[in-house]
Amino acid sequence: MIEMPPLQFAQVNGIRMGFYDAGPKDDPIPMVLCHGWPEIAFSWRHQLKALSAAGIRVIAPDQRGYGATDCPETVEDYDIEHLTGDLIGLLDHLKIDKAIFVGHDWGGFIVWQMPLRHPARVAGVVGVNTPHTPRTESDPIELLRKKYGDHLYISQFQDRSGKADKIFDSRVAETFDFMMRRPMPMKASAETADGPPAAGLGASPKLNMAFPQLVAGYDAKLDPREKILSDDEMNVFVESFRKSGFTGGINWYRNMTRNWERSGHIDHTVRVPSLMIMAENDAVLPPSSANGMENIIPDLEKHLVRDSGHWTQQEKPEEVSGKLIEWRRRRFG
C-alpha cells in the first residue's frame, strides 16, 4: 500500500500549488523536497515517511507544470525566477521563516539557486545528483549543442512546437517504463566517471540521450533493465502525467538560455551549510560533475550512494533518508 500525506493546496506566486506536508508543525526548520523531470512530489514518498517519523517536518510540492499544480501556458512563466518564487510563496503560505531545500535532478538546480536569490529564507541546501556549478561563460544550450549535437534531449526540448512533448504525451506508460529503471552495470564511480558536463546538464557523448526517439520506439519486452517501481507506483506517475501532460516540465528546459542571460549579476557562491548526495551509476549527472563544488560552496559535505542510478531517492530510499536525517540533526539539531 502506498502511503502519502493528504494533498493540500496553496495559492502561491500566481498559481495554485499542490503539496504534501508531514511531521511536526512546530519544527523550526522544515525540509522542502523538490522533484525533477519527469517526476512529481510522489517521488519523495519514502522520504516523507522516514523524515516525518524521525521528527522532521517535511514538505513536498508538485512544482509548477506538474501533477496537482497549475500549468501556465506561457513558456517564460517557467523561468528560474518563477520556480524559486513559488517555493518562497509556499513558505509564506505556511508561515515558515526558513527551510532546508532538497532537490533532485531539475529540483536540484532550483534549490541551489534558492540561497543565491532568497538568502534570508534558506537555512541549508541538499543536492541529490545535481551539482552546483559556476555560471558558464556562454549560453549553456549552445555549449550542449557543441558537445553533444542536436539529438540531445535538452536540445530537442528547445523546439517550442512541441514535437518532443507530443511523443511523451502519446506514450505516457512507455515513457515511465523506459525512464524508471536501474542502469545496466557500469563503472561510473567518482574516480572513473566522465568529466563535468556543461552547466551540469550532460552525459557521456557515447550515451544515446535522444529520449523522445527512444521512447517513440520503446518496447518494454526487449528491455533487460530492472524496474524500480511497483505497478501501483508506476500507475501514480502515469495517471498524473496523462492529466498534466509533459509540456509544463519541458518548459523548464526552454528557459535555460533565459535563466543564463538573467543571472549575470548574481554571485554564485552558496553560503549556507550544504550537502551533495551523488549516485555512483548516474550517467546523466555522474559523481564527477560535482568536482570543484567546494570552490563555490565553503561549507559542503559529500556523500556517494553506491550502486544507484539517476532515481536515487527511489532506488536507495533508506540510504538517502538516513543521510538526510543524520546531516539535518548534526547540522541543525
Could you state, in order of their start, the residue ranges of all structural domains in the chain? 7-332
Q: What are phi and psi of 131, to 5 degrees?
A: -85, 165
Catalytic residue among 21, 86, 105, 177: 105
- 240 with 40: CB under 8 angstroms? yes
Q: How far apart are CA 277 and CA 303, in angstroms?
A: 5
Class (C level, CATH) for 7-332: alpha beta
Given this model, what pLDDT does residue 184 score? Answer: 85
- Rounded CA separation 287/200 (Å): 11
pLDDT digits (tens, 9 = 90+) for 188-201: 333 333 322 333 33
Average pLDDT by consecutive 10-residue portion of the chain (333 residues)? 92 98 97 98 98 98 98 98 98 98 98 98 98 96 94 96 97 98 66 32 59 97 96 98 98 98 96 98 95 98 98 98 98 94
Which residue from 66, 92, 94, 90 is spatially nearest to 78, judged by alpha carbons? 66
C-alpha cell belonging to residue 231: 505497478
Half-sphere exposure of 54 (CA within 13 A, CB side): 21
Amino acid at 194: D
What per-residue confidence (pLDDT) applies to 2?
A: 84
Instruction: Tell me how far apart the alpha carbons of residues 88 and 25 are, in angstroms, rounded to a whole number.
Output: 18
Q: Which of 35, 82, 104, 310 is catalytic?
A: 310
C-alpha cell at 88: 518562497
Q: Which pLDDT score is estimated for 22? A: 98
Give the residue from 147, 116, 177, 156 showing the smallest Cα distance to 256: 156
Whether 206 contacts 3, CB under 8 Å = no
| Helical spans, DSSP H, in the chain | 45-53, 80-94, 106-117, 140-148, 153-156, 163-170, 172-179, 211-216, 231-244, 247-253, 256-261, 312-315, 317-332
Identify the residue whose cell numbers are 541551489: 112
Q: Which residues pair with 199 in a beta bridge?
A: none
All residues at 6 or more sequence positions from 108 whose CB lies less than 8 Å from its CB, including other chains:
34, 36, 127, 128, 129, 130, 131
| Annotated catalytic residue 310 | yes
Quote the pLDDT of residue 196.
29
pLDDT (0 to 100) of residue 204: 47
Encode burial over 225-264: b for 16+ CB neighbours within 10 A, e otherwise: eeebbeeebbebbbebbeebbbbbbbbbbbbbeebbeebe
pTM, two decimals, is 0.94
Rounded to a whole number, what is the distance in angstroms from the first to the last CA of the chain? 32
Residue type for 291, please?
N
- Measure the CA–CA gap between 330 and 59, rounded to whole angstroms: 20
Distance separating alpha carbons of residues 33 and 62, to the nearest angstrom: 10
SS3 309: coil
Beta bridge partners of 12: 15
